Structure 1
Amino acid sequence: MDHRSQGEETREPIFRSDLEGPRPEPRYEPLRPEGGLWSVIKRWLAPLAAVGILLAKFKGLALLLLKVKFLGTALTMLVSIGAYALLFPLWFAVGIVVLIWVHEMGHVVQLRREGIPASAPMFIPFLGAFVAMKQMPKDAMAEARVGLAGPVLGTLGGLATLGLYALTGDQLFLGLAYFNFIINLFNLAPLLPLDGGRAVGAMSPVFQVLGLVVMVALFFVAPIMAFIALLGLPELWHRWKTRNTPEGRAYYDLPLRQRVAVGVVYLGLILVLGLLTGATFVPDPEALQ
């Protein structure tokens, strides 16, 4: 018996798809899956590789900028602002570069106090900036003072930015303060050529070697640390080879009170910056836009 209603017509299948039903959407499986370790490495190394190619291609221009202090600083600041603006809003990019400049000026001021000739700050997109010393400090204590001066002034710059947030309520300043604190904390890693590597050398050169081992071990967590470790490896190897020479012993021969003083300032900065980083952390980055 046909149970269909009289008005219902029988529809004969016309296409094969009418019998098989809708086909599933095709899925593309990449040869190299996204996410995981490869995604982290690619995210870090892509901009670094681009910067390396540019430096190699325009090496002569880079050397010229080192000689023309103010011009080199201004131009490299503009380039860095443009690079950071590819990832962040423009004014956030400007704030990043200004805060890095404040950090570097801490080194510049202390180098002048130590009587050490040096270049003006030179900026490298995604790597920060550097001040090139034209001669080594007289001893490890002077080097530690130069190294710690950057994070000290950088921390003050971050506190000033945090003060602007308290006055205006603008989330931009809160984001900049967080970025500043975490960058200065990062610079205190006990690894040459970072500021922390120069500081711990005053306590003992052994800490510089231990710092290298720890940072390389953290490759899978932060690949950038392994990259920085490779940059500082030649200098660390030279220092380790010459540590028992008369010059090397004189360089690291410091009174116990000076070693303790460096340790107190170094660990104190890590503690303060760690607390400030936690206090300014915003779980939702969109709130800063």
Structure 2
Amino acid sequence: MNDERWLPPRSPASDPPVTPAAADEGLGPAQEERRGLLARLLAPLAALVALAGKFKAVLLVLTKAKFLVTSGSMLVSIGAYALIWGWQFGVGFVLLLLVHEYGHVIQLRREGVKDAGAPIFIPFLGALIWAKSLGKDAAAEARVGLAGPVLGSIAAAACIGLYALTGNHLFQALAFTGFFLNLFNLLPVGFLDGARAAAALSPWVWLLGVFGIVVLVFVFPNPLIILIAVLGIWETWQRFRAFRGGGEDIERYYAIPRRQRIIIGATYLLLIIALVIALDVTHLQRDIPN
């Protein structure tokens, strides 16, 4: 007679939990050695992961703090200009550039473009800002383009006041340089501000800008003018080809009401005339009457 009794199978839940200590007790010397080796190999990887996390946090701070990029490039530009004209002129000139660029930034935000970056300064080439768009149409682009020279000219005019108050010819030189910078930027070619304004008038005006920059190359042959001419002509060619290619989006972009064209054109021409007069008044060989 069989004396064995039937017992129900044990549920895994009824087994006592295995603690880490109990699990370790079951490891042999070879397993413990492999586990220690694995821990030593993974330790540097864990340190790198932690370091990467800290580095990511630093990058996030730098990305958010756009002023670091602007201030750093400003200092580099000031140093470059100071080597030739002295630190006082370098500081003043870079501040004039800053005001000019923030004219663009302010107008971009007024046009609804919120992603305009902080100005970045490039020694002897000026400064620039990055934005995905210059506005919804050519009129908005023209307003953005003209805002820089308008605000920059106001800053240069403030230097005239400082010169009248102090008699320091440094401010006279800064005023003249600021007016010249803004007038040059109104040349309707390439990436210059005048090309932005010309987009609302007629892209055919860009051809006048190409002619003007070529004349400057022959009259004032220097590496910077040549570089600006090459880049400007290339940019003009690309935009003019897109304009000639047509398409609904292109036609809609350049379809500006006549009233806006007149206002933009008048502002453009009056600004050029005012800057030419201001250059004559602040010429370095003449004194400004008190």
Please report the TM-score for the alignment, with normalisation by the length of structure 2: 0.72
Structure 2 Cα separation of the partners of residues 190 and 79 of structure 1:
29
Question: For the Cα contact (< 8 Å) 1:66–1:120, is it kept in 2?
Answer: no
Picking from 71, 82, 85, the partner of 1:85 is: 82
Q: Write the deviation string for residues 223-260 of structure 1: whole angstroms up to 9, x where unpaired.
A: 44442232234433332233211111111111111111
Moved more, 239-248 or 272-281: 239-248
Picking from 251, 254, 274, the partner of 1:252 is: 254
Question: For the Cα contact (< 8 Å) 1:219–1:226, is it kept in 2?
Answer: yes
1:242 aligns with 2:242: yes
1:263 aligns with 2:265: yes
Shift of 1:190: 1.0
Structure 2 Cα separation of the partners of residues 83 and 67 of structure 1:
27
- The 5-angstrom pairing of residues 1-289 of structure 1 reads 69-116=66-113, 117-223=115-221, 224-243=224-243, 244-283=246-285
Structure 1 Cα separation of the partners of residues 254 and 197 of structure 2:
12
Shift of 1:68: 5.0
Alpha-carbon spacing, 1:171–1:197, altered in 2? closer, same or farther (3 Å): same
**2:20 — aligned with what?**
none
Shift of 1:95: 0.3
- DSSP 3-state at the match of 1:123: strand
Structure 1 Cα separation of the partners of residues 163 and 63 of structure 2:
35
The structure with more radius of gyration: 2
Structure 2 Cα separation of the partners of residues 189 and 125 of structure 1:
21
Please report the TM-score for the alignment, with normalisation by the length of structure 1: 0.72
Structure 2 Cα separation of the partners of residues 86 and 167 of structure 1:
28
- DSSP 3-state at the match of 1:129: strand
Letter in 1 for 2:237: W
Structure 1 Cα separation of the partners of residues 278 and 134 of structure 2:
33
Q: Write the deviation string for residues 79-123 of structure 1: whole angstroms up to 9, x where unpaired.
A: 000000011021111100011101111001001111112110000
Q: Is there any run of 5+ residues in structure 1 with no aligned partner, and where?
A: 1-63, 285-289
Question: For the Cα contact (< 8 Å) 2:217–2:229, is it kept in 1?
Answer: no
Question: For the Cα contact (< 8 Å) 2:134–2:144, is it kept in 1?
Answer: no
- DSSP 3-state at the match of 1:242: helix
Letter in 1 for 2:72: L
Question: For the Cα contact (< 8 Å) 2:99–2:152, is it kept in 1?
Answer: yes
Alpha-carbon spacing, 1:143–1:171, altered in 2? closer, same or farther (3 Å): same
Letter in 2 for 1:124: I
Question: For the Cα contact (< 8 Å) 1:84–1:93, is it kept in 2?
Answer: yes
Question: For the Cα contact (< 8 Å) 2:190–2:233, is it kept in 1?
Answer: yes
